[in-house]
Chains A and B, each alone.
Chain A
Amino acid sequence: MTRKKDEILFDHNHDGVDRRGFLKCMAWAGTGTFCVMQGGVLKSYSLSRIADLSPAQMKGQLSFAQISDSHMGFNKPANPDVAGTLKAAVDKINALAIPPEFLLHTGDISHLAKPEEFETVEQILRGAVAKDVFYVPGEHDVVGDDGKGYLERFGKKSKGDGWYSFDKKGVHFVGLVNVMNLKAGGLGSLGAEQLEWLENDVKRLSASTPVVVFAHIPLWSVYPEWGWGTEDSAQALAYLKRFGSVTVLNGHIHQTMQKVEGNVTFHTAASTAFPQPQPGKADSPGPMKVPAAELRGLLGITDVSFVQGQEALAIVDSRLE
């Protein structure tokens, strides 16, 4: 008997998905994002469909890859092999025709902020062609020790609770921390000290400098009922109003979403670990265990890029199917 292509060989959790099938559907879910800056405008593409991109689409003044929510240490049925799916994301990055200059990890590196979890992620990412990795913490990375372990390992050159900025080829990158000192009933929070630092950090830049801001929890209200937003993000965005091109990259919600608001384009990246439900589509934002076919339908429609026209912003659907 010949095997069908998608035949399940090992179904340990009796959910109709074996490990290979799972890796395959995670590939569909998007294991990372390829970002390219063209004419000061950032475009992002899901790594799962990068093979269909033409070299012209991938070429720009600067390209990098974003990965997010690797949740190393998670071992529940929604993904019993988070190391395997992170490695799969690295393989995709390494297979890019134009190698990204560096990687951004937008938080929830670990599941429980354990040193061995951080270590495993660092080890796996050392296998990527891009050697520099820029991190910001997720709430899982600062749990239990108020971020001490995270800061010792990843935050040596950062300020305060781990925020920092750097420049690459004329693009200004700002890594923000919105997972510390969270208050009961509240959302993500940047805090007065960090906001003041941000105001000063961008003051010296010319308005034509493309700015990329990355942080774990979305800096726009995706779904406040589930805590998917940052309470003082409006203040941060106010400091960025005068810039012609601002891109905000987030993680946290384990699905890709994009939106334009004025001069700002917002992107959230998929998780390399497990998907979460769409806002309000479940009782809670817990890990989602879905059959591969459903996952494709759920996440296969979000590859949209935004292109800035001469006078107004235009949204161009760049689905790669």
Chain B
Amino acid sequence: MNRKERCLVAAMVLAVVGVAITEASSLVRVKAREDVAKSEVKIDNFSFAPGEITVAKGTTVNWVNRDDIPHTVVSDDKTSFKSKPLDTDDKFSYTFSKEGTYNYFCSIHPKMTAKVVVK
């Protein structure tokens, strides 16, 4: 193997490693995106979707109002968490630091109920 060939092999090895690293990082990114998707609750058509989500302790859950009417996100005990009125496209986030089942509702339209399970 002459110098030129050795260089070529080295370059190929680097390239393969590079691809592997890129793939690994994109896998991490995909995983992160999935987690975000799992912890996002969409409010639309007078309902929370999904109506029940399970997240790991420390997860921040994000709500977004896609309805053309304002809604709120309020824990059933009205103290654990409580959003301001969310107009169309407004967002609310809450980080769940303790395990448990958190039932919540829309205080404007109390028929809208849902829950977050923290494990």
Chain A residues proximal to chain B, CB less than 8 Å: 76-78, 111-113, 139-140, 143-144, 182-187, 225-227, 283-287
| CB under 8 Å from chain A, chain B span 43-93 | 45-47, 67-70, 72, 76, 84-85, 87-88
Asked whether A184 and B69 contact (CB < 8 A) given A139-B108, A284-B47, the answer is: no
* 19 contacts across the A-B interface (CB closer than 8 A): A76-B68, A77-B68, A111-B70, A112-B85, A112-B87, A113-B85, A139-B109, A140-B108, A143-B85, A143-B108, A182-B108, A182-B110, A184-B103, A186-B111, A226-B46, A226-B111, A285-B46, A286-B45, A286-B46
Q: Is the CB of A225 within 8 A of B111?
A: yes
Choose among A76, A113, A144, A185 the residue that contacts B110 (Cβ–Cβ < 8 A). Answer: A185
B105/A286 in contact, CB under 8 A: no
Interface footprint category on B:
20 to 34
A182–B74 CA distance with the chains assembled, in angstroms: 11
What number of A-B contacts does a CB cutoff of 8 Å give? 57
Residues of chain A contacted by B70 (CB below 8 angstroms): 111-112, 140, 143
Complex Cα spacing A88 to B68, Å: 24
Instruction: Please report whether the interface of chain A is mostly helix, strand, loop or mixed according to DSSP.
Output: loop
Is residue B113 contacting chain A, with contact meaning CB distance below 8 A? yes
* Given A185-B113, A285-B46, 12 additional A-B pairs, CB 8 A: A77-B68, A139-B109, A143-B70, A182-B107, A182-B108, A183-B110, A184-B113, A186-B110, A283-B46, A284-B45, A286-B45, A286-B67
| Interface residue? B96 (CB, 8 A) | no
| Known contacts A112-B70, A284-B45; is-contact A76 B109 (Cβ 8 Å) | no
B110 contacts across to A, CB distance below 8 A? 182-187, 227
Measured CB to CB, the nearest residue on chain A to B71 is A143
Whether A144 contacts B84 by the Cβ 8 Å rule is: yes
Question: A287 near B111 (CB under 8 angstroms)?
Answer: no
How far apart are A76's CB and chain B's nearest CB, in angstroms?
Answer: 4
Binding site for A on B (CB under 8 A): 45-47, 67-70, 72, 76, 84-85, 87-88, 103-105, 107-111, 113
Q: How far is the CA of A305 from the CA of B55 in the complex (A)?
A: 55
> In the bound complex, how far is the Cα of B104 from the Cα of A76, in angstroms?
27
Question: Nearest Cβ distance between residue A58 and chain B, in whole angstroms?
Answer: 36
Q: Are B46 and A284 in contact (CB under 8 A)?
A: yes
Chain A residues with Cβ under 8 A from B68's Cβ?
76-78, 286-287
Residue of B45, B70, B76, B87 with highest tally of chain A CB at under 10 A = B70
B69, B70, B72, B113 pick with most chain A CB within 10 angstroms: B69
Give chain A nearest CB distance to B89 CB in angstroms.
Answer: 11
Closest to A139 in B: B108
**How many angstroms from the CA of A189 to the CA of B72 in the assembled complex?**
18
| Assembled-state Cα–Cα distance A43/B104 (Å) | 42
Compute how far the CA of A225 lies from the CA of B109 in the bound complex, rounded to whole angstroms.
11
Closest to B107 in A: A182
Bound together, the chains give a CA A185 to CA B47 distance in angstroms of: 12
Q: Let me know if A184 and B85 touch, CB within 8 A.
A: no
> Hey, which chain A residues are within 8 Å of B67, CB to CB?
286
Residue of A whose beta carbon sits closest to that of B88: A76
Contacts of A186 in B (CB 8 A): 110-111
Report the minimal beta-carbon distance from B83 to chain A, rounded to whole angstroms.
9
Within the complex, what minimum Cβ distance (angstroms) separates B82 from chain A? 10
A287–B85 Cα gap in the complex (Å)?
A: 18
Bound form: Cα–Cα A191–B49 in Å: 31
Q: How far is it, in angstroms, between the C-alpha of A139 and the C-alpha of B85 when the chains are bound? A: 11
A183 contacts across to B, CB distance below 8 A:
76, 110
Q: Which partner residue on chain A sits nearest B47 by CB separation?
A: A284
Cβ contact within 8 Å between B104 and A184: yes
Contacting pair B85 A227 (CB below 8 A): no
The chain B residue with its CB closest to the CB of A185 is B113
- List the A side residues contacting B45 at CB < 8 Å: 283-284, 286
